[in-house]
Every structure is written in C-alpha cells, then in structure tokens.
Amino acid sequence: MTISYNWIDGIWIGTGSSGYNWDIRLEADTSQNRYTLEYPSLDGKSQLIFLDSHKQGEITFREKMLNGLNFSNNDIIIFNMVHNNKLTFSAYHQGETNCIGSGVLTKIIE
C-alpha cells in the first residue's frame, strides 16, 4: 500500500511551545520536495528533509537550520494530521525521546 502525504501541501501557521510560546509557519510542497519552517517571533528559518511516512496522516522530517540564533540543528519533527486544515507537531533532538517542542498549525492556503 502506498501512503500519500500530500495532505501537508500548503501554508500552515500556528503556535509552538517549549517552555514559552512562539509563532511558527510551515510551507510544504510535496511535488517539489520543498518544506520550510519559519519562526517569525524568533527570527529563525529551517529546511525540512523528508525522512518517513509510516502511516497515513503522519510524516517525519529532519530539520536543518538556515538561520537564527539559539536553535538546535538536525532535530526530528513529526507532523500529525488532526483534520483537513489542522495538524500537530512534536520536535525531538536526534536520538532522544523527550519532546523539546510541540504545537498546532492551521492551514491557510492550499
């Protein structure tokens, strides 16, 4: 069975938390294999590298920071679809199981 993950295509905005709240924006285009995360309130931006989609409605990426101070690099980001226009995410340092950040995003553009 082929698992589709083009449900993540579009522009998503929301809020993340890791002891404090911050804005987050995801832009995803599966046809171009292009995924970026922006942290507007923290002045950070990263490229997401697709790793896996084991089951429908879940997709895993490695985060490569492009700019921003006080960010870790190579973190694992897991997105889960909650509804057609809503998803959650959880972030982990590579090789660790403790969540370092999480939040909710809402789709604004197809």
Whether residue 20 contacts residue 41, with contact meaning beta carbons closer than 8 Å, is answered with no
Q: Which tens digits make up the pLDDT trace of 41-86?
A: 999 999 999 998 878 899 999 999 999 888 889 999 999 999 889 9
Instruction: Tell me, yes or no, if the pTM score tops 0.85.
Output: yes
Whether residue 41 contacts residue 22, with contact meaning beta carbons closer than 8 Å, is answered with yes
Q: Which tens digits make up the pLDDT trace of 79-106?
A: 999 988 999 999 999 889 999 999 999 9
Distance of CA 44 to the CA centre of its chain: 13
Task: Please name which of 78, 79, 56, 76 lies closest in space to residue 64, comparing C-alpha atoms.
Answer: 76
d(CA 57, CA 71): 27
State which CATH number among 1.10.10.10, 2.60.40.420, 2.40.128.20, 3.30.300.30 fits the domain covering 11-109. Answer: 2.40.128.20
